[in-house]
Structure 1
Amino acid sequence: MKLWKECARFFTGLMVAVFLALLLITRPVFAEMPSETFASQLKKCALIAVDEQRLQCYDSITGKQEQPLGYVAPSEDIMTSTIEKPVVEVKPIKPGRGRWLGIKSYRRNYILPVSFNDKVNQVLYNGLGEQFRSDETEVKFQLSFELPVWENILEKNIDLYVAYTQLSFFQAYNDEYSRPFRETVYEPELGFKWTPELSISGWDLESIRLAYNHQSNGRARPLSRSWDRIVGQLKIRRDDISLGVRLWDRIDSIPTDDDNPDIEDYIGNGELFAGYDVGDHRLGLMLRNPFEHEALQLDWTYLFSKKAGLYLQYFNGYGESLLDYNHRVNRIGIGFMLNDWL
């Protein structure tokens, strides 16, 4: 576990270094002649006494070519008829640009009206004096969006953004205990997103993110859970295949205020994710902390419109929510993906 943690820290730092290095590599290079050199050449031409030679000197600087003998300048009518129409460059619209107040989807937005977990953590409430027993079937939904605060910083395709993700588990079918929200995870984030438009061996580098991330469930002790992280993320794509890695390093908290000191042992320090598009079908995979307390998520989406689709999700492992971060969950749910509603 320590080796995996150190590797995650190393690669998080490496992503920061790559982020800064690529900014320097991709800076614009101007091929214009320095003003001092251009002025000095003009002075040299002005000192030439012979008119014809002086004119040739000026032409050599400006790049004007000498016309051959017998050359006849075209008439004004011919020139106007053969002049090409100006080409207007149409810049592609980036995903999410031009939407209401600039808000766009961040992670998945979905609702699973029916999700079944056959490994409910009933032990959590024992000894707390709470008369509550969680149902195996509940509603799971997630809302996630981001808002650019400062776009195209220094003309480098870098955006400063704020993001918010909320994951909730609603005991909608638990009549005995008044249908409570069993758990809600609040996750604000502040970071930088870079879309460098680079391609290597057919793989497009879609984005690199570096952010400060906070997660908490807003509960009182002993059910309180929270932690803060520095998160780095890299995503690449080739045709219909997308791959990504997300690494993080926890910001240490005061031991007396730490409600979950061993959370890294269960959630780890990174995750891998992948996606594959086949027509109207989208397949997804997430793998986290494979060497100890692993977590696996499989996704299938069928898009029946441009804004929504049928969504099937399977999760097995640790860290599905903060409340159950150290408890294995085995859940399958069906519902709707709403990623393009913003």
Structure 2
Amino acid sequence: MPRSFALLLLLFVPGGVLQARIDLLLVPPAGAVAAGPGTELTLYLNNPTELAETMHLPREWFASYASERGQGRVRLVASSPAETECAVPPMSRRTVVLQLLDPIPGAGGFVSLRLTDPATNAIMFEVLPIEPVTARNSATPSHRPPLVPGRHLDLTSDLEAMRRHISGYDPIYFAVGWRERFNARFQFSFKYRVFESGPPAESWARQAARDFYFAYTQTTIWDLETFSKPFYDSSYKPTAFLLRTLVLDPERTWRLTLQAGAQHESNGKGGGATPVYPDSGLLSPTNAQRHASDTRSLNTLYLAPKLRWTGDNDFFVEARAHASVYFQNDENPDIHRYRGYVDLLLRAGYDRGIQASLQARGKVDGHGSIELNFTWPAIQTPLLKLIILRTFGGYAQVQYFNGYGESLLDYDVRRKDQLRFGLMITR
């Protein structure tokens, strides 16, 4: 126990230690500009943390731009502040005024520009027409090849393009607990939007295509003491679904999210005899009828409406019902007796503060389960404040599970109550 548990803590605790950060926000000019030497751009240095931070400013800045004439790079210099180090107090903003050193060629229209080192967001602004330059006054031609039509002002990076499509789905966490021996439960999850989001009032077919997602969730229970430290069981859940959020009132306090799709769940095993475990271990004694094989899989169609209310200070309460129809569940045809057909999720708290969630599924006759999760920003934990001087990322987590089927392998088995403590990355 001691060595395994200590090594496990070293895996996930230091990973949450982050530095106080400075967020860069480039602001476009208020109106059309000549975009020549001396044109000013505003850069905000935002410090959203509770710790002071100092940013080292380069003596010369570089930016990439795109216009109807082509792409290129320009240089800028900071006119204010003049020093190369800029201190930003906690929860505050400093302003840096940048001046162009090079002209942006073009004949009017819009230009997209972003700083490249350090990198910032892209901005777009209008450029005033530049008087044509005669050939005898121009040492080199300023013509640039035209860009690809329809994409010529897009300076989106690969990371930003990915963020447009990939987002969180189920919570991501790593939690450790004890049930006759040390074990861990961890989960990671994401969803992928196939098409770009678009404007409202499109045709229903086009809107349905924009609301189409793929998702993947993996949940694993890890035995930390048995020889070779095996993963006891994992659930792999690829999902395809439609997701649509509706705002129900002008104040935007009530939102209804509608989700419908198909999900496959499997523990990734292809059959074979059920493994034999020692009497004392992660497994608890049970009188449940064991299956002749350790393979588990099922397919479901589901509908999951979610209602959310948001009040003052971003306090929210939300409720979700997940109704499923089983098909192709040959390995576990009686799973409906333990999971039922509807599970309920209640969640409340603050977007940036403490949250509590309760998930209940199964039948009221006792063949079901309850899972509780309490999370709060990890840096608000008193012990961490004493030990760690910098910002601690993620959320501290307390998880409690009671009932049948914590893993898909044991869907018909009720074990001892499980309490775990961990770090949650997304909620």
Q: CA deviation at 1:178?
A: 1.1
- Please give the per-residue CA displacement for 1:2-33, whole angstroms capped at 9, x wherever unaligned: xxxxxxxxxxxxxxxxxxxxxxxxxxxxxxxx
Change (3 A) 1:244 1:299: same
**1:331 maps to 2:405:** no
Using a 3 Å threshold, how does the CA distance of structure 1 residues 98 and 277 change in structure 2: closer, same or farther?
A: farther
Report what 1:215 is aligned to: 265
Structure 1 position 268 matched with structure 2 position 320: no
Return closer, same or farther for 1:322/1:227 CA change in 2, 3 Å cut-off.
same
Q: Unaligned regions of 5+ residues in structure 1, if any?
A: 1-96, 118-134
Question: Quick one: distance in 2 between partners of 1:101 and 1:290?
Answer: 39
Residue 304 in 1 paired to residue 349 in 2? no
- Aligned to 1:100, what secondary structure does the other structure show? helix
Query: Under a length normalisation based on structure 1, what TM-score does the superposition of the two structures give?
Result: 0.59
- Which runs of structure 2 are paired with 1:83-98 in the superposition (5 Å)? none
Q: Which amino acid aligns with 1:322?
A: L
Distance 1:200 1:287, change over 3 A: farther
Q: Who is 1:241 aligned against?
A: 317
Say which SS state the counterpart of residue 266 (structure 1) adopts: helix
Counterpart pick for 1:140 among 171, 175, 185: 185
Q: CA deviation at 1:137?
A: 2.0
Q: CA deviation at 1:170?
A: 1.2
CA–CA distance in 2 between the matches of 1:319 and 1:209? 24
The partner residue of 1:109 within 172, 179, 193 is: 172
1:235–1:244 Cα contact (<8 Å) kept: yes
Is 2:246 the partner of 1:196?
Answer: yes
Query: Aligned Cα RMSD in Å?
Result: 2.7
Q: 2:194 aligns with which of 149, 162, 172?
A: 149
What do residues 45-100 of structure 1 show as CA deviations (whole Å, max 9, x unaligned)?
A: xxxxxxxxxxxxxxxxxxxxxxxxxxxxxxxxxxxxxxxxxxxxxxxxxxxx9663
Q: Which residue matches 1:172?
A: 224
Q: Which structure's relative contact order is higher, taking Cα pairs within 8 Å and 6+ residues apart?
A: 1
The one-character-per-residue Cα deviations of 1:270-305 (angstroms, maximum 9, x if unpaired) are: 111111115721111111124131211111001136
The amino acid across from 1:100 in the alignment is R
* Higher relative helix content: 1
Question: What is the number of equivalent residue pairs in this alignment?
Answer: 222
Name the % identity: 27
Q: Deviation at 1:116?
A: 2.3
- Kindly state the Cα deviation for residue 151 of structure 1 after the two structures are TM-superposed: 4.2
Question: What's the secondary structure of 2:306's corresponding residue?
Answer: strand
Structure 2 residue identity aligned to 1:260: N
Assess, with a 3 A threshold, how the Cα gap between structure 1 residues 309 and 179 changes in structure 2: closer, same or farther. same
